[in-house]
Amino acid sequence: MQLSIEPLNHASVLLCIGELRLLSDPWLAGTAFSGGWGLYYDNPEAQQRAAVATHLWISHWHSDHMHEPSLRALAQQRPDLQVLVNESANFSVASRVRELGFRRLITLRERTPLRLAPNVIATRYPTAGIDNMLHLQAHGWSILNYNDCNLRPRALAALARKLGPIDVLLTHYNHAGKLFDARPAPHEKLALWEALCRVTEALAPRYVIPFASTHYYRSVYSRAQNASLLSFDDLQVRAGSDPRLVVARVGDRVTMQSPYALPEIARREPALRQQAESLHEYGESVPWQTLLDAARSRSRSLQRGFPLIGLLLPPLRVAVTDLGRMLEIDLRRGVSEVTGAAHIAAHSKAIMDWLGRPFGDDTFIAGAHFAVCTDDPATIKQWVALCLLHASRLSVPDLLRYLLSGEGRWFLWCRREEIFATLAAGGFRAGELRS
């Protein structure tokens, strides 16, 4: 049976096979991460194509995947669209999906096969705190939307044995957040390409379609990272004559008559041109005292989540660029104003979004709303790791809660390949986390 895959923009694809038309992660226009990211391509047909879907799956709640303006627009057109709602011990997106205007929700639990249609079964495999991949077994096809998942080689190998042969793999290929270690753009591009190759070799698909990576950074603190993003042309050149790699650009359509047939790419005519990069404006400053209050409140929350962490974690010094002042966050001694060298620098509005908003860590870090001000980013990485663990509800009290309930133990067991690989490697590094 014929399979078709249309990259609508960034991580949004429309996958059609038989009676199933599955849409994923529609970010179709506008910006994400509080203006930190923009789309390199404007696809004028994306909204129309998205509306033909029979099912919608949102991989996780980062705003380049759960993009509220795009989802609201889609819900106005198709409130009856069947939405596959991820349910886990740490998060449920059901209430938010209803608020956006969708009426037909289907619970999609971790590693629990769900029949979407005759001869179509979907299984969600979670990783880390929030990321998910979706495995479709449909009419003899095996299709894996790996999305933003980022597993170690040992974990990937174990999961590959579980999944079996994969006909089509969709996976990211660019960095997606603040880079802590400064490297020349060619070196960064090579590292990205090698990472794509490692995932491809570990999962061994018949074909791989790189996607979920057509963003750029809009913050003045991180726009230099754009030079090291892989483009479609870069992928095409590096792929050479490798028949496994299918470079489908935004607006194209890939069709395959069977898992054994060569892919055919219907190129959009005319091809979409890459848009010029725009710059994010942060607006008015946040008062100093408001920042101090937010930092103190967040410090108390981190201390509750990770007791005694202040004895191990060095203080973080944050230069507030628009106020010309330095904030030091010390989980042992408290929050204060200091002078000297900073670890990071950011606008007060971005810092307030980080410290004072739910899930502000992801917006601040993935949105790359800060500059790295030191040649040794070890302290920054430790703070990033701590904040992201806390935001993903992987704090010490959370883990104890998971261990003490059946649902929680299932949550941990569903991540067994990743947990074992992480423990074997001696822990995870913040730079491995994606949006």
Residue identified by tokens 């979407």 is 116
Over the stretch 94-122, which tens digit does the pLDDT of each residue have? Answer: 999 999 999 999 999 999 999 999 999 99
* pLDDT of the residue at 36: 98
Strand pairing of 3-9 and 371-372? unpaired
Over the stretch 290-309, which tens digit does the pLDDT of each residue have? Answer: 999 999 999 999 999 999 99
Can the peptide bond before residue 270 be classed as cis, meaning omega within 30 degrees of 0?
yes
Q: Strands across the sheet with 114-117, in order?
A: 114-117, 120-127, 131-138, 141-147, 168-171, 207-210
Over the stretch 23-52, which tens digit does the pLDDT of each residue have? Answer: 999 999 999 999 999 999 999 999 999 999
Runs of H (alpha helix) within 78-204 = 94-100, 153-163, 185-203
Over the stretch 351-384, which tens digit does the pLDDT of each residue have? Answer: 999 999 888 999 999 999 999 999 999 999 999 9
pLDDT of 128 > 90? The answer is no
Longest CA–CA separation in the chain, Å: 66
* pLDDT of the residue at 432: 45
CATH 3.30.70.60 fits domain 3-266: no
% of the chain residues with pLDDT over 70 = 98
- Residues 253, 219: Cα–Cα separation, whole Å: 32
Q: What SS3 class is residue 86? A: strand
Supply the mean pLDDT for the chain.
95
Over the stretch 376-431, which tens digit does the pLDDT of each residue have? Answer: 999 999 999 999 999 999 999 999 999 999 999 999 999 999 999 988 886 655 44
Average pLDDT over residues 204-208: 97
Over the stretch 315-346, which tens digit does the pLDDT of each residue have? Answer: 999 999 999 999 999 999 999 999 999 999 99
- Residues 362, 366: Cα–Cα separation, whole Å: 5
From start to end of 289-385, where are the E strands?
316-320, 325-330, 334-338, 344-346, 371-372
* pLDDT of the residue at 433: 41
* pLDDT of the residue at 427: 61
Q: Which of 379, 394, 386, 300 is nearest to 344 (CA)?
A: 379
Over the stretch 19-29, which tens digit does the pLDDT of each residue have? Answer: 999 999 999 99
Over the stretch 52-67, which tens digit does the pLDDT of each residue have? Answer: 999 999 999 999 999 9
Average pLDDT over residues 247-267: 96
pLDDT of 208 > 90? The answer is yes
pLDDT of 132 > 90? The answer is yes
**Tokens describing residue 140:** 């003899």
Domain locations in the chain as residue ranges: 3-266, 288-432
* pLDDT of the residue at 406: 96
* pLDDT of the residue at 435: 40
Average pLDDT over residues 228-257: 95
Amino acid at 400: L
Q: Are residues 4 and 254 in contact, defined by beta-carbon separation less than 8 angstroms?
A: yes
pLDDT of 164 > 80? The answer is yes
% of the chain residues with pLDDT over 90 = 94
Strand pairing of 3-9 and 168-171? unpaired
pLDDT of 434 > 90? The answer is no
Specify the pTM: 0.95
